[in-house]
Each structure stands twice: as structure tokens, then as C-alpha cells.
Chains A and B, each alone.
Chain A
């Protein structure tokens, strides 16, 4: 069982806006920044958002991240078929003294 809680699945139609939630605790998300990773089918995870809301170069601005208290969200606007992937949140946990991940959310573009 993952330390951070994500919905196992999400879906949307092309052009829609979808959000994926990530819930943690005061020792994880509450006290540290959140990162998001995208894993396209058959590929390695790729950094999508770091430090809550920062996009690495090359990541479209359709992707955005936010954090409030012990929860974080990833929003994808203008959904495209190529966004179909697994999305994982991650944060440092001060109590566990290590990185913790969400269980992943499988995004389906209908």
C-alpha cells in the first residue's frame, strides 16, 4: 500500500481538463514539495512537475501542479490522446526519512 493516495484511474475526452489528486500527511506533502512523473506505455517514468508547480523544459504548459496543505493536484488541460499514461506523485517523508510515491493513476483518453 502506497504512502501517498491517488485515484487508480481517471479519464477524459480530447480537449477536456482533467485533474489527478494526491493525498499525503503532514510529514510528507504537508512539509515538503511534490513531484509528478508520467510513464507512457512501455517507457520509463519521466519528470513532469517538480517542486509543486515547476515544469521542466520541454513539458507543455497544458500540465500544471498545485499543492495545498497535505494534498496536491496535477491538472492537464486540452487533453490529448498522447497524454494517455500512468501518473505518479512523489514527496519526501520526514517521518520515514525517504521518498514516498502514490500508487499511480492510469489516465485514459476516451
Chain B
């Protein structure tokens, strides 16, 4: 079945970097866009942007430019989210989510990864 499995929780100090992985299985990886969604403590879901898994071209939402990088390793069907110069306000659960249907980035999200908690604290 279609599945996204993310890497485990991370505890980082301010200023450090973190790389979250999202391994896909059960479908052709480069046929569906991959999205990243953040949920900070006590907050709602926030779409960070998406990456074209065929071309590798990322698109970032305002507020997630500069320190956030989406990347791929298509040889292992894995998408990555790297966050550099971490700040306390980056503490959140980060989800990857596949675009459903024919994989167009404006389709619904299905499925979602289980989420990765990134905690930034000194």
C-alpha cells in the first residue's frame, strides 16, 4: 500500500541544522508531488510548499524561504526537508504528504507521513 515513513524525532540546539526524511513506498515516486506541512505547538496546519518529484524543482511558501530546503533522492524514493539556523520557533511537527489523484500539486494530500517532531532548545 502507499506509505510515507518519516525519520524520528530530533532535539537540536538553536543555530544547528536538521534534515527530516520521508521515504515513500507503494507507488511510482516521481509521479506525485510531495508537500511539506508544519504544525507548531497549539497551532493549526500550515503548508510550507511542495517539490516536483519529477524535476526536483521546489516551491516554497512565503515564510519558508531561505532556511528551508526541499530535496529528493529518487534512487531511494525519499524526500527531505532541511532546516538550517534553527530557532526556537521552528519547534513543530513536520509532515510530508503526497499529492493525491494524478499527483498534481493542487490535488488533495494522501497519504501523510506520520510526522517528525523537531524540538529546538538550548
User: A75 at interface (Cβ–Cβ under 8 A)?
Assistant: no
State which of B12-20, B71-79, B112-120 sits at the interface with chain A. B112-120
Q: Which residue among B49, B95, B110, B111 has the maximum number of chain A CB atoms within 10 Å of its CB?
A: B110
B100 touches A43 (CB 8 A): no
B44 touches A88 (CB 8 A): yes
User: B108 at interface (Cβ–Cβ under 8 A)?
Assistant: yes
Query: Which chain A residues (65-96) contact chain B, with CB distance < 8 Å?
Result: 88, 90, 92
Task: Please judge, given known A-B contacts A44-B115, A45-B95, whether A104 and B44 are in contact too, CB under 8 Å.
Answer: yes
Report the Cα distance A102→B46, complex, angstroms: 9
The closest CB in chain A to the CB of B113 belongs to: A44
Report the Cα distance A20→B109, complex, angstroms: 20
B111 touches A98 (CB 8 A): no
Number of interface residues of B (CB under 8 A): 21
| Binary contact track B13-52/A, C-beta < 8 Å → 1, others 0 | 0000000000000000000000100000000111101000
Residues on B lying within 8 angstroms of A by beta carbon are: 35, 44-47, 49, 61, 95, 97, 100-101, 106-115
| Binary contact track A44-65/B, C-beta < 8 Å → 1, others 0 | 1111001100001000000000
Residues on A lying within 8 angstroms of B by beta carbon are: 2, 32, 35, 37, 43-47, 50-51, 56, 88, 90, 92, 98-104
Query: Within 8 Å CB of A2, what residues of B?
Result: 44
B44 touches A47 (CB 8 A): no
Other A-B contacts than A45-B95, A104-B44, 5 sampled, CB-CB below 8 A, are: A44-B112, A44-B114, A50-B110, A88-B45, A90-B108
Q: 13 interchain pairs (CB within 8 A)?
A: A35-B108, A37-B112, A44-B114, A45-B97, A46-B112, A47-B108, A47-B109, A50-B100, A50-B101, A50-B110, A56-B110, A98-B49, A104-B45
